Structure 1
Amino acid sequence: MQFQLSDELIDKIRYLIEERKDEEILLHLEEVHHADIAEILTELDVEEATYIVKLLNSEQTAEALMELEEDRRERILEGLSPKEIADELNEMDTDDAADIISELSLELQQDVISEITDEQHADDIVELLRYDENSAGGLMAKELVKVSENWSVTGCMTEMRKQAENVTRVHSIYVVDDKNKLKGRLSLKDLLTASSDANISDIYIPSVDYVNVHTEGEEVARIMQKYDLEAIPVVDEMGRLVGRITIDDIVDFIKEEAEKDYQMAAGISEDVEADDSIWRLTRARLPWLILGLFGGLGAVYVMKGFEEALANYVELFFFTPLIAAMAGNVGVQSSAIIVQGLANDNLRGSLFNRLLKEIGLTLINGVVLGILVVIFGFIVGQPQIVSFTIALALITVIIIAALIGTFVPIILDKQGIDPAIATGPFITTSNDIFGIFIFFYLAKTILGF
């Protein structure tokens, strides 16, 4: 039966915690999946959640902790001793354990690592902490199954059983030489059907996709998506096998990157959660709001330079928000498509061809919208010359806004700046100013004021 989180269950657990009825709590949560335990921990107060983590065995709670939001997990860990945190880490894969360790203060990191009973596990965690968290080295886990090309099939099976005890899921079997350099991969079918006295060197597959420890996470995700990989081995600068990245790790990475880009597109400058402090939320939002304010003031200054136009053709004033809005909308649409293409690495072809395509596309859209403006002007009895002026300005503004939205992300990407920044207030604000200026400049030229 599927788990259902309810207010009744949360109230029941809270009551049991308050009454210190530990045996009943254990009975309620005995068969609960770690993801469901994470949901329960999220609904409880931090003190109550910490009580549950201390009560349940680490095998149950280790994975549940990884399902929690980072801020929530940090607050729970603050209520645990270094020994209790180490007990949780002992049950985790090295990549997850390294993620948690990295969230702790340097002093607490040392205390926790010293409490880890498995020395090899502790060494592996320390090694992973050396790499950037968004690189292949920072994403990989040390747990994997590898065999030597010089082993016999019989000896290989014996060694694989030993290694598999520490691996949650065996996606692939990797083949290395005597210096631990990656040579290829081993098919389980070939292994099972081979003669017991055959050597691994005779049956392994030399073709294998891999990444370097310094490969960026986005590139790892692209490779795994392109070749439909469930796992990919990671090698160091000398080609030695040092770890593997599994599909669940890369999905988590993609989710975090998507959330970051979404916030950036909305004008939020750093990764924040709804439960963060007012100061942190303000710090994340205010910079772009200030940019928007200056952009608005710039638009006001542009309009002030065309006071004569507003005096002679009041209709232009009422169409100003329309021009600004269409410029911003078209710019965001264009930049969103380009940013998506850059992220998926499917943005190919020359810039000139893309320029022609974007001009053609926006010209069609602009003409359709311009015709609608002319029809609207005819219905409301607006002078035709004014309607055609607004329509022409709208077409011109849309084309320029689309070009800005297309090429700004490409330029930012070439300069090593996250192009997602171009899909938010940056594009909207710049297009507002350009759009209003072009609108009034064309109106002045055509209407002659």
Structure 2
Amino acid sequence: MTVMSRIPTLDRLPPVETNGQTVGRYLVTSVPVARSRESAGEARARLIGQRFDDASHVFVLAEDGRLIGVVAIRDLLGAPETTPLHDIARNAQAYSVSFDADREVAASVAIRAGLSILAVCDDAEGRFLGAVPARALMTILRDEHLEDLHHMVGILGKSEAAKDALTAAPHRRALYRLPWLLVGMAGSAAATAMMSRFETALSAHIAVAFFIPAIIYLADSVGTQSEVVVVRGLSLTDSALLPLFAGELGTGALLGAMLGCLAFPIVWFFFSSVGLAATVGISLAVASTIATAFGFLMPWLFARLGYDAALGSGPVATVVQDTFSLLTYFVVASFLVF
């Protein structure tokens, strides 16, 4: 009786995909296979002395090459000599995907089923073609993680666009970035116009102006921290957006409250003004919370709209955060100082 040690024929194997998005790219064909009528002892004896690309499982095939079961090597080694392979084989359907299956979907199937290998079958006939081993699944997961991370930072489509934004000629790089800086300039003009409305009040209470740079800097720093954490963190979790936003907003509010509580006694001690100290403390708490909200939402919003968040969200978020920080400071000061 002739038995197989490898896949007997590969004449109908489809061409490997070149785009890298299907499991066909990761297929290996040198894997242990056996007939269902074989016993565990026969299969073990036949596999000794052979080398495979992956030997973690034995794929049990029907006479026509269809996959009917999968046997882990540990189960094969522990089975009695006369045990038929079909008695210890696991359900083939749970272990298999089609040749044109998306690689991310295939990796998700393996994770949910707790599998370290996937069988790949011909969709039309269900014929066994090969397997996607554990090392390939790890590669897929890494590549998908990097792809998701690139999307979160605004590198939409192919990474060549991001590379071009860094390596292109200076005039092209300037053209990429200038529109967003012009948006920032417009926002700065609006902030300047807003400050001019408080010129008289600032002249009468010059000490209020001393803290404008500190309010803007600290709130912007809190927002920038949130932006960086979100860009990095959203690629590592599949949690819903709203709970993540609520958690980050609470963190920003807590940081702002802590900064405000630290600033209050210092300002009161040096300027002997409870109103000014309260203005600085309250403004820090409110502005930090608002900056956190924009730091969280801006990268996500730009990515959803199809813009490059790496170039756009920073300048836009900064000017929006600064404008709202100024507005918050002046509104609070209007009640407590002016």
What is the TM-score of this pair, normalised by structure 2?
0.69
Q: In 2 relative to 1, CA 158–396 (structure 1 residues): closer, same or farther, beyond 3 Å? A: same
1:368 Cα offset (Å): 1.0
Q: In 2 relative to 1, CA 198–447 (structure 1 residues): closer, same or farther, beyond 3 Å? A: closer
Q: More relative contact order in 1 or in 2 (CA 8 Å, sep 6+)?
A: 2
The match for 2:253 among 360, 363, 369 is 363
Larger radius of gyration: 2
2:263 matched residue in structure 1: 373
Q: In 2 relative to 1, CA 186–254 (structure 1 residues): closer, same or farther, beyond 3 Å? A: closer
The match for 2:228 among 315, 324, 332 is 332
Confirm or deny: 8 A CA contact 2:97 2:121 kept in the other structure: yes
Distance 1:254 1:283 in 2: 37
1:417 Cα offset (Å): 7.4
Distance 2:273 2:299 in 1: 40
Q: CA RMSD in A?
A: 4.5
Question: 1:13-60: per-residue Cα shift (whole Å, max 9, x none)?
Answer: xxxxxxxxxxxxxxxxxxxxxxxxxxxxxxxxxxxxxxxxxxxxxxxx
Q: Which amino acid aligns with 2:326?
A: F
Confirm or deny: 8 A CA contact 2:226 2:248 kept in the other structure: no
Distance 1:128 1:445 in 2: 64
Question: 1:347-403: per-residue Cα shift (whole Å, max 9, x none)?
Answer: 15x94x555544433322221122233344345538554443344343334333444
1:173 matched residue in structure 2: 58
1:85 matched residue in structure 2: none
Confirm or deny: 8 A CA contact 2:283 2:332 kept in the other structure: no
The alignment status of 1:206 with 2:121, answered yes or no, reads no
Equivalent pairs counted in the alignment come to 316
Q: In 2 relative to 1, CA 222–384 (structure 1 residues): closer, same or farther, beyond 3 Å? A: farther
Q: After superposition, where does 1:16-35 map in structure 2 within 5 Å?
A: none
1:271 matched residue in structure 2: 159
Confirm or deny: 8 A CA contact 2:30 2:54 kept in the other structure: no
Distance 1:261 1:175 in 2: 36
DSSP-derived class of the 2:323 partner: helix
Q: In 2 relative to 1, CA 292–242 (structure 1 residues): closer, same or farther, beyond 3 Å? A: farther
1:203 Cα offset (Å): 2.7
Q: In 2 relative to 1, CA 405–296 (structure 1 residues): closer, same or farther, beyond 3 Å? A: closer
Q: Which amino acid aligns with 1:247?
A: A
Q: Which amino acid aligns with 1:169?
A: D
Confirm or deny: 8 A CA contact 1:213 1:236 kept in the other structure: yes
Confirm or deny: 8 A CA contact 1:172 1:185 kept in the other structure: yes
The alignment status of 1:441 with 2:337, answered yes or no, reads no
The match for 2:118 among 213, 232, 239 is 232
> Could you tell me the percent identity over the aligned residues?
14
Q: Which amino acid aligns with 2:71?
A: L
Question: 1:103-138: per-residue Cα shift (whole Å, max 9, x none)?
Answer: xxxxxxxxxxxxxxxx959x75x62126x4033233
Q: After superposition, where does 1:197-346 map in structure 2 within 5 Å?
A: 198-206=83-91, 208-224=94-110, 229-238=115-124, 239-258=126-145, 271=159, 279-280=167-168, 289-290=177-178, 292-308=180-196, 311=199, 312=202, 313-315=208-210, 317-319=212-214, 320-342=216-238
Confirm or deny: 8 A CA contact 2:99 2:122 kept in the other structure: yes
Q: In 2 relative to 1, CA 401–200 (structure 1 residues): closer, same or farther, beyond 3 Å? A: same
Distance 1:227 1:186 in 2: 15
Q: Which amino acid aligns with 2:69?
A: G
Distance 2:54 2:271 in 1: 72
1:180 Cα offset (Å): 3.8
Question: 1:138-164: per-residue Cα shift (whole Å, max 9, x none)?
Answer: 3333332222324455664577569x5
1:191 matched residue in structure 2: 76
Question: 1:383-438: per-residue Cα shift (whole Å, max 9, x none)?
Answer: 5544433443433343334444556677789x6979xx76x455433432331222
Q: Which amino acid aligns with 2:120?
A: V
Confirm or deny: 8 A CA contact 2:33 2:61 kept in the other structure: yes
Distance 1:221 1:374 in 2: 53
1:244 Cα offset (Å): 2.0
Distance 2:175 2:149 in 1: 16
Q: In 2 relative to 1, CA 368–145 (structure 1 residues): closer, same or farther, beyond 3 Å? A: same
Structure 1: which 5+ residue stretches go unaligned?
A: 1-118
The alignment status of 1:394 with 2:279, answered yes or no, reads no
What is the TM-score of this pair, normalised by structure 1?
0.55
Question: 1:168-212: per-residue Cα shift (whole Å, max 9, x none)?
Answer: 331211223345443331133543455655532223222744444
Q: In 2 relative to 1, CA 262–194 (structure 1 residues): closer, same or farther, beyond 3 Å? A: closer
Q: In 2 relative to 1, CA 340–288 (structure 1 residues): closer, same or farther, beyond 3 Å? A: farther
1:182 matched residue in structure 2: 67
Distance 1:432 1:206 in 2: 55
